[in-house]
Structure 1
Amino acid sequence: MTNGTQWRSWLDNDKWFSELPGSLQDSLLTVMRQRRVTPGKRVFEYGKPACGLYALLDGSIRFNDLKSQQQWQPQPTQVRPYWFGEVSLFDEQPRLRDAYAEGQVILLHLPQAPLQALLRDHPHYWRWFGQLLGRKLGLMVPPPDELRLMPTKERVAFRLLMLAEGYGDMDRSTRVVPVHDILSRRRLGLLPEVVERVIAEFAERGILRGEHDAIHILDTDRLRKAALHRLTPLIA
């Protein structure tokens, strides 16, 4: 049995993968690489360039807090495979977490470069990766070039939600977003002072708490509602 055939047998029961067009399934199977990570070793490192999409087949991943390297915490049992890392396809930012193997971990890794090439050649595939991320955010995810079409407050709320919820159920221990990540004009197309005004309003509403260098998300449900727009309807 070839690796591609074996992986397809593992992925056949995965809701996201099984709904993909056959051509996209074949393309992903072609570029995926199996990776085994021993306990305590990094899967990826904070601050390093985006490195693609991962499917967790066995074991558990622990994500460190950005500000205060948290202790290892057991992860809830997840349906396998569990996909993570797709947020980097949308923001092209360095990794915002350290990701460590808790116990022996088996992953399928889809490197960033071939994924980006695939999306350049087949831009209609964006919607499928948007669906993958959208299930974690609870909102539909527009293609990156449409984000700037959203009104200011919704745009800021969506960016905060993406930064805080991008790893879904795998990362419920921290809701801390570095200020410099939300103030990035390249990401939002907004002046820093405009973003700061929106953040101050969200703080007054009890959605978040701002500090000098970090934003603490206090209420993700209200943040999700603040991000609602015609481009980002709720996902049932």
Structure 2
Amino acid sequence: MPPWLDSPAERLQVLGASPWFAHLPPQLSQWIAENVRPHELAAGARLFVRGDAPDGMHFVVSGAVRVGSLAQDGRESLLMVARAPQWFGEAGLFDGAPRAHDAWAAHESRLLHLPQAETLAFLGRYPQHWKSFGRLLAHSLRLALGALEGHALLSPARRLAQRLVAMAYGYAAWRGPYQRLISVQQDDLGTMLSMSRQTINQLLKEFEAQGYLRTARGAIEVTDMARFREFAQR
């Protein structure tokens, strides 16, 4: 085990940054803290690939994990970039189906891994906790459906605003703490939203002129979340 987060108490504190985890029943949150395993990924390292057997859920402690698809010719389809304090990979817990996407480290990253077999055994003993995992899956489904609806109905500006707000809140509900500084490349935003880099750049300039945010190399700082969130929800 890596020499970091090697005690359940330390892991419990770090995991508490996740809105989903923070509202779990004490029995479940304590069990997760005792059973997650620290894992390090070098930049570019694969976490899993399409077709792999599901091995459990992952929590981002630091760094970033890109989730999407990599073609043999190098083309990339990017669904999301998972960052702290985000969970991902929970779908296989329910259906046992192979991984539907690839996941690889955008740069050096630290994760906590909740193994599949141990989790299923725990839920076999305490089936009342399936509901908590169901909430996490339902939230992911709502995000996916919202993205599909936005692609069909929303303007590019609204779609970009909604994605940035979602990233600032760690893809959780739009309330409570959020990250003012979002580490993301404009090319990645374009890939996730099916927009050109030029379109992303122009929209960010418009948002900056409105006072919603400031841009920097490889990062975006939200300077007025209340107004930016209001714009994204119109």
Per the normalisation by structure 1, the TM-score is: 0.54
Unaligned runs of 5+ in 2: 144-169, 172-187, 195-234
CA distance 1:126–1:6, change in 2 (3 Å): same
Q: After superposition, give the CA deviation of every residue in 1:100-149 in whole Å (9 maximum; x if it has no partner).
A: 0010111000011001101111111111001111112129xxxxxxxxxx
Correspondence 1:63 to 2:44: no
Match of 1:3 among 2, 7, 13: 7
| Aligned residue type for 1:101 | A
Answer yes or no: is the 8 Å Cα contact 1:65–1:173 preserved in 2. no
Shift in Å at residue 67 of structure 1?
A: 6.1
Instruction: Determine the C-alpha separation between the residues in 2 that align with 1:4 and 1:73.
Output: 33
Q: After superposition, give the CA deviation of every residue in 1:179-211 in whole Å (9 maximum; x if it has no partner).
A: xxxxxxxxxxxxxxxxxxxxxxxxxxxxxxxxx
CA distance 1:112–1:174, change in 2 (3 Å): farther
Higher relative contact order (CA 8 A, sep 6+): 1
In structure 1, the residue matched to 2:37 is: 33
Answer yes or no: is the 8 Å Cα contact 2:54–2:92 preserved in 1. yes
Answer yes or no: is the 8 Å Cα contact 2:66–2:82 preserved in 1. no
CA distance 1:34–1:75, change in 2 (3 Å): same
In structure 2, the residue matched to 1:136 is: 140
Shift in Å at residue 77 of structure 1?
A: 8.1
Answer yes or no: is the 8 Å Cα contact 1:60–1:75 preserved in 2. no
| Aligned residue type for 2:115 | P
CA distance 1:136–1:106, change in 2 (3 Å): same
Q: After superposition, give the CA deviation of every residue in 1:36-77 in whole Å (9 maximum; x if it has no partner).
A: 100111111221110101001111111232767534869668
Shift in Å at residue 2 of structure 1?
A: 4.9
In the alignment of these two chains, the number of paired residues is 146
Shift in Å at residue 94 of structure 1?
A: 0.8
CA distance 1:47–1:30, change in 2 (3 Å): same
Correspondence 1:91 to 2:95: yes
Q: CA RMSD in A?
A: 3.2
Per the normalisation by structure 2, the TM-score is: 0.55
